[in-house]
Amino acid sequence: MTRSLRSVLLVGALLLLPVLAARPAVAAPEGTLTWAVHISLAPTFFDPAETPGLITPFMVLYAMHDAVAKPMPGQAFAPSLAESWSLSKDGLTWEFVLRKSVRFHNGDVMTAEDVKFSFERYRGSGAKLLKEKVAGVDVVEPHRVRFRLKRPWPDFMTFYATPATGAAWVVPKKYVEKVGDEGFKKAPVGAGPYKFGAFRPGVDLVLEAHEGYWRKSPNVKTLVLKVIPDEATRLAALKRGEVDIAYSITGPLAEELKRTPGLLLKPTYMPFTSWLVPVDQWDPKSPWHDRRVRLAANLAVDREGINQASYLGLAKVASSMIPSQMEYFWQPPPPKYDPAQAKKLLTEAGYPSGFEAGELSGDMIYGSAIGEPAVNYLNAVGIRVRLRLMERAAYYTEYGEKKLRGVLYTGSAAFGNAATRLENYVIGGGRYVYGSHPDMDGLFAEQANETNTRVRQQLLTKIQQMAHERLLFIPVMETAFLNGVGPRAEVHGLNVIPGFAYSAPYEDLKIKKK
């Protein structure tokens, strides 16, 4: 299709638009869908530049904004505001061809300037990394933009176009410059399928359909995200039909949800693994120093039992502390549950009647779902640990300062790839690393400078194998995020985009006709 023909069609379409609108619209958005959200929504969620490296803001971003490219159903990097992109042969330039005729909610046309502006303005998580790697952004044409890298960087799209950062999400340059950052958070304007309606901090966020959304006009007219911090209350609201979708319902409440006729239990999966780490393994005097003891602990925990009890069997048993969907993931053999063997190993290690293993510390939010049963299992084979659940802030602060002893229960849903996980938890100098093996540190340094993806894959695999063999961790679970769906939501958007926890894409959602 030549450019001129396309513009003719476009003009034609624009001319037709009032005509179409005048007819009893078949697809005019109608109705309201309401969510019960588990955390407080913050105005920072309205501005992609502030994306803090948590998944939660994307709950709002997917509605209000759009990205150059973003994960969509079936596609890790789906062309969105960009129709296509290409990487130059030298691996130094990414060129994006932007969709024309995309308009922001205020009517401004989206251009390459906006993409450049949004990237440069980005100051959320990973901003430093991106800016180190990217030499500059050039506007080639109004709808063509180039990212120049300092050195070839195979992970560029992983960081640019996934929830790892919010740099690809585009805000209207003119508008932002006019109203400023503060004004933008009060009255955000984006290119997403839903417009900002109203926001009451701690109460709710109302979004209205943006009928001119490029991909399609949304089916549902109004979206309401209600903040309900207590999960029992969220379930009550769902049961009463006050909300149509309730996020984060766990344990017995999830069972009740499953039992309730008319309600649907729907898991979503984030790159979220949880594991135990005996940090005392680095103390030669500790029983945990003995690999056999760690192996015994690994065999003592019935992960499937925990899965059934806490996640209704909807989570996945983890074999590694790196999420299986992550890039460079190596799949270790699945863990076994064998308490008899565990006891035997303990006897071999010189603890026939078990040993006092100190405390098992954990963050109170996830602690009771996994920590409590884990402690139960460890005690059952004679590894006598006491659970110590700590307030989240205190726990991570002390963990970071390496003040905690014994065994730690932890988990992470940070985006990135196997390398970023290893860096934080395995490699010497990492934030949560009590001790490390020099050979692994060496391999890691090697891969960091490696541009060849295959070689890098090999190196990272090697490190993961070593971590597995040396039993640095006792992986427990790839956690599921359980949600409830009420009878009104025909298309709920849950678990449609891999690795995304919330409802999306919003423009596809549909209310059941009576």
Partner 1 sequence: MSASPATPTATTGTLAGWLPKLRTEGLPLVPIGILVVLAFLAIFAELIAPYNPEIGSLSQRFKPPAWVAGGSTEYLLGTDHIGRDVLSRLIFGARVSMVVGFMAVFIAGVVGSTLGILSGYLGGWVDQVIMRVTDTWLALPGLTFAIFLAAIVGPSEWNIVIILGSVYWTRYARVIRGEVLSLRERDFVRLAIVAGCSKWTIMRRHLLPNVANTAIVLATLMLGVVVVSEAALSFLGVGVPPPKPAWGLMLADGKKGLMAGYWWLTVFPGVCIVLLVLAANLLGDWLRVKFDPQLRQL
Partner 2 sequence: MRRFVLRRAAYAALSLFLLSVTIFLFVRVTGDPTVLLVEPGASKADLEALRTDLGLDRSLLVQYGTFMRDLARGDFGRSFYYRTPVLELYVSRLPNSLFLAAAAMVFSLLIGIPSGIMAAVRVGGWWDRVGKIFALLGLSMPSFWVGLLLILFFSVYLGWLPSSGSGTVLHVLMPAFALGWYFAAAHMRLARSSMLEVLGSEYVKLARLKGLPEARVITKHAFKNALIPVLTLAGINLVLMVNVAFVVETVFAWPGIGRLLYEGIAFRDFPVVQATVLLGGSMIVVVNLVIDLLYAVIDPRIRYER
* Phi and psi torsions of 216, nearest 5°: -175, 160
Only segment of 194-202, 214-222, 382-390, 408-416 that touches partner 1 (CB under 8 A): 382-390
Whole-number Å distance between alpha carbons of 275 and 474: 6
Position 319, amino acid: S
Note whether 471 and 298 are within 8 A (CB).
yes
Q: Which of residues 99-138 bind partner 1 (CB under 8 A)?
A: none
Closest contact distance (angstroms) between CB of 390 and partner 1 is 6
Which whole-number Å values give the CA distances from 497 to 38, 183, 254, 268, 337, in the listed order?
Answer: 20, 32, 22, 9, 32
Note whether 348 and 412 are within 8 A (CB).
no
Closest contact distance (angstroms) between CB of 458 and partner 2 is 23
> Exposed e or buried b for every residue in 397-417, given b needs 16+ CB within 10 A?
eebeeeebebbbbbbbbbbbb
Which residue number, 289 or 384, has a Cβ lying nearer to partner 1? Answer: 384
The DSSP output letter for 122 is: -
Which residue number, 66 or 280, has a Cβ lying nearer to partner 1? Answer: 280
DSSP strand pairing (93-98 vs 82-87)? antiparallel
Which residue number, 338 or 372, has a Cβ lying nearer to partner 1? Answer: 372
DSSP strand pairing (204-209 vs 194-200)? antiparallel
Which residue number, 188 or 218, has a Cβ lying nearer to partner 2? Answer: 188
Pick the binder of partner 1 from 40, 75, 308, 451 (CB under 8 A).
308
Contacts of 324 (CB under 8 A, 6+ apart): 316, 318, 331, 478
* Of 79, 267, 58, residue with least CA distance to 163: 58
- Total of chain residues touching partner 1, rule CB under 8 A: 33
Pick the binder of partner 1 from 372, 441, 446, 450 (CB under 8 A).
372
Which residue number, 238 or 474, has a Cβ lying nearer to partner 2? Answer: 238
Whole-number Å distance between alpha carbons of 62 and 54: 14
Q: Does 306 bind partner 1 (CB under 8 A)?
A: yes
* Residue 68, Ramachandran bin (φ over 0: left; ψ between -120 and 50: alpha; else beta): alpha
424 contact, one of partner 1, partner 2, none, CB 5-8 Å limit per kind: partner 2
Contacts of 469 (CB under 8 A, 6+ apart): none
Pick the binder of partner 1 from 92, 364, 466, 471 (CB under 8 A).
364
x-or-dash string of contact with partner 1, 250-279, rule CB under 8 A: xxxx-xx-----------------------
DSSP strand pairing (222-227 vs 32-37)? parallel
- Tokens in use for 288? 């945990």
Closest contact distance (angstroms) between CB of 438 and partner 2 is 20
Closest contact distance (angstroms) between CB of 69 and partner 1 is 39
Q: Does 393 bind partner 1 (CB under 8 A)?
A: yes
Identify the residue whose tokens are 């960009």.
82
Which residue number, 11 or 394, has a Cβ lying nearer to partner 2? Answer: 394
Note whether 273 and 400 are within 8 A (CB).
no
Only segment of 7-15, 280-288, 304-312, 337-345 that touches partner 1 (CB under 8 A): 304-312
Closest contact distance (angstroms) between CB of 246 and partner 1 is 12
Which residue number, 341 or 376, has a Cβ lying nearer to partner 1? Answer: 376
451 contact, one of partner 1, partner 2, none, CB 5-8 Å limit per kind: none
54 contact, one of partner 2, partner 1, none, CB 5-8 Å limit per kind: partner 2
32 contact, one of partner 1, partner 2, none, CB 5-8 Å limit per kind: none
Which residue number, 397 or 453, has a Cβ lying nearer to partner 2? Answer: 397
Which residue number, 109 or 390, has a Cβ lying nearer to partner 1? Answer: 390
* Phi and psi torsions of 74, nearest 5°: 80, -5
Contacts of 239 (CB under 8 A, 6+ apart): 260, 263
Q: Does 338 bind partner 1 (CB under 8 A)?
A: no
Q: Does 309 bind partner 1 (CB under 8 A)?
A: yes
Q: Which residues bind partner 2 (CB under 8 A)?
A: 40, 42-44, 50, 52-55, 123, 125-129, 185, 200-204, 226-230, 232-233, 236-237, 239-240, 242, 391-394, 396-397, 399-400, 410-416, 420-421, 423-425, 431-432
